[in-house]
């Protein structure tokens, strides 16, 4: 039991009241060195009280300045925000580095595809078509490291250009899915009540169907298949996942102490949702987006594989290459299937690794 007489801190001097035990010296201190310095006008008429007042203020100021200086010197220049801290931990995680390297390479290849690819991806080469028959497709030759595709086009260049299409479909589908999902989830989580019930039953229905089946249905519903129907179908499939995730973590945030604290402060309900619940819930969604990206690439490839993808025969796309050419000519030249499949797997793996590492890094529990 803590005894009030021995409480620490009760007799503790505060900045500013330390020198109060010096008044007795006050009058005598006049001629001492140091005193004229602060009293340049040398007014002898100063009462001891006034002088004491000045001395206290001065001592307090000096002490305060010294403390501040000390604080500046020892403290790190600024606070470490959640994201900066996460980034620091991300950089130390080998899994994150592997994922980031894969993703980085993939994005670079996609952006600079026309510069990297040795040939035009749609041009049919005479030297390749010459040897093209039903049961033989030319392999690697000089100038064509991966050989030919079934139409006599440079397979290597098509692989490189395929990354563009994959990135495009993946980014767009994820972004659309993320936006719609965040909207639905935020509305459900912020309003609750029957809005929440209606929206969540809707997502339940969508989640009840296997995602690929739902995507196939959506594509089949479109009158004319194009790359946009693929993007849209893949995006819609990911909406309920985002919505549920955001809604769930917003509900958890609603019960959290810091939201309660904000409410106790008198922060407006709208600001509580926008400044506390939503930002704190978004981290989970951002991580999910990285993982969804991998799924979107796979789903798009699956749709192409099933012949529901982009009908444009000239467009280089990994899923299409795997599904149409790879499947049809697997006996003749299995590389036509191997390379696109490998590319899809590696890229999806890269995004998954990065996503998992982000999930770990961003978790506030890991903060020291």
Partner 1 sequence: MTERTGPENEAATQRSATDDAATGRVGTDDAATGLPGTEAGTTTAPGDAGAGQGRPLIELRDVKVHFPIKSGLLFDRTVGYVYAVDGVSLSINAGETYGLVGESGCGKSTLGRGLLRLVEPTDGEIVFDGADVRALKGESMRKARRRMQMIFQDPLSSLDPRQSVESLLVEGLKAHGLADDKEATSRRLRDTLKAVGLPASALSKYPHEFSGGQRQRIGIARALVLDPDLIVADEPVSALDVSIQAQVLNLLEDLQNERGLTYLIIAHDLAVVRHIADTVGVMYLGGLVEEASSDDLYREPMHPYTRALMSAVPVPDPLVEDRRERILLAGDLPSPTNPPAGCRFHTRCPWAQPTRCADERPALRDVVGGHRVACHFAEDIAAGRLRPHDVAPELVRPDDGGAPGDTGELIPTL
CB of 225 to partner 1, least distance (A): 39
| Gap between the Cα atoms of 311 and 323, Å rounded | 12
Question: CB 4 → partner 1: shortest distance, Å?
Answer: 6
CB of 68 vs partner 1, minimal distance in Å: 7
Q: Which lies closer to partner 1 via its Cβ, residue 86 or residue 357?
A: 86
Closest to partner 1 by CB, 130 or 275:
275
Cβ atoms of residues 181 and 242 within 8 Å? yes
- Label residue 304 exposed, middle or buried (CB < 10 Å: 0-12, 13-18, 19+): buried
| Dihedral of alpha carbons 361, 365, 366, 368, sign | positive
Footprint of partner 1 on this chain (CB under 8 A)? Answer: 1-5, 7-10, 15, 67-68, 71-72, 75, 78-82, 85, 256-258, 260-268, 271, 275-276, 279-280, 364, 367-368
* Least distance CB 88 / partner 1 (angstroms): 13
Q: Which residues pair with 133 in a beta bridge?
A: 136
Smallest gap from residue 6 Cβ to partner 1 (A): 9
Smallest gap, in angstroms, from Cβ of residue 348 to partner 1?
A: 30
CB 222 within 8 A of CB 229: yes
Nearest to 346 by CA among 282, 274, 298, 289: 298
Alpha helices in 117-226 (DSSP H): 126-129, 155-191, 193-208, 211-221
Residues 6+ apart with CB under 8 A from 328: 150
Q: Which residue's CB is nearer to partner 1, number 202 or number 349?
A: 202
Both tokens assigned to 152: 């006599």
Q: Which is nearer to partner 1, 72 or 224 (CB)?
A: 72
Q: Which is nearer to partner 1, 174 or 283 (CB)?
A: 283
The CA distance from 136 to 92, in Å, is 49
The helix/strand/coil state of 227 is helix
Residue with Cβ nearer partner 1 (213 or 261): 261
CB 95 within 8 Å of CB 155:
no
Total length of the chain: 368
Closer CB to partner 1, 36 or 364, in the complex: 364
**What's the rounded Cα separation, in Å, for the pair 141 and 118?**
13
Question: Smallest distance from the beta carbon of 129 to partner 1, in angstroms?
Answer: 60
């Amino acid at each position: 039991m803590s005894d009030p007489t021995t409480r620490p801190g009760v007799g503790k001097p505060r900045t500013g009241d330390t020198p109060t035990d010096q008044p007795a010296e006050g009058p005598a201190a006049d001629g001492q060195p140091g005193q004229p310095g602060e009293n340049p006008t040398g007014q002898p008429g100063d009462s001891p009280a006034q002088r004491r007042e000045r001395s206290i203020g001065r001592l307090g100021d000096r002490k305060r300045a010294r403390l501040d200086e000390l604080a500046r010197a020892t403290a790190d220049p600024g606070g470490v925000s959640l994201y900066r801290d996460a980034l620091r931990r991300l950089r130390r995680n080998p899994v994150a580095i592997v994922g980031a390297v894969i993703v980085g390479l993939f994005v670079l290849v996609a952006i600079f595809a026309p510069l990297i690819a040795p040939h035009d991806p749609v041009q049919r080469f005479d030297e390749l078509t010459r040897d093209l028959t039903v049961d033989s497709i030319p392999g690697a030759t000089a100038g064509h490291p991966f050989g030919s595709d079934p139409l006599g086009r440079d397979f290597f260049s098509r692989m490189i250009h395929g990354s563009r299409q994959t990135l495009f479909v993946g980014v767009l589908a994820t972004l659309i899915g993320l936006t719609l999902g965040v909207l639905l989830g935020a509305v459900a989580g912020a309003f609750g009540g029957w809005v929440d019930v209606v929206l969540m039953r809707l997502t339940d229905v969508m989640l009840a169907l296997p995602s690929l089946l739902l995507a196939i249905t959506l594509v089949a519903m479109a009158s004319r298949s194009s790359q946009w129907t693929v993007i849209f179908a893949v995006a819609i499939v990911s909406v309920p996942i985002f919505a549920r995730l955001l809604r769930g973590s917003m509900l958890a945030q609603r019960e959290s102490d810091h939201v309660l604290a904000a409410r106790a402060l008198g922060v407006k309900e709208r600001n509580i949702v926008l400044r506390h619940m939503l930002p704190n819930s978004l981290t989970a969604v951002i991580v999910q987006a990285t993982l969804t990206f991998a799924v979107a690439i796979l789903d798009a490839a699956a749709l192409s594989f099933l012949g529901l993808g982009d009908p444009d025969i000239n467009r280089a796309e990994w899923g299409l290459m795997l599904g149409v050419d790879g499947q049809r000519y697997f006996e003749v030249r299995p590389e036509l299937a191997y390379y696109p499949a490998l590319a899809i797997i590696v890229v999806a793996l890269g995004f998954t690794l990065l996503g998992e590492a982000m999930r770990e890094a961003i978790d506030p529990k890991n903060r020291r």
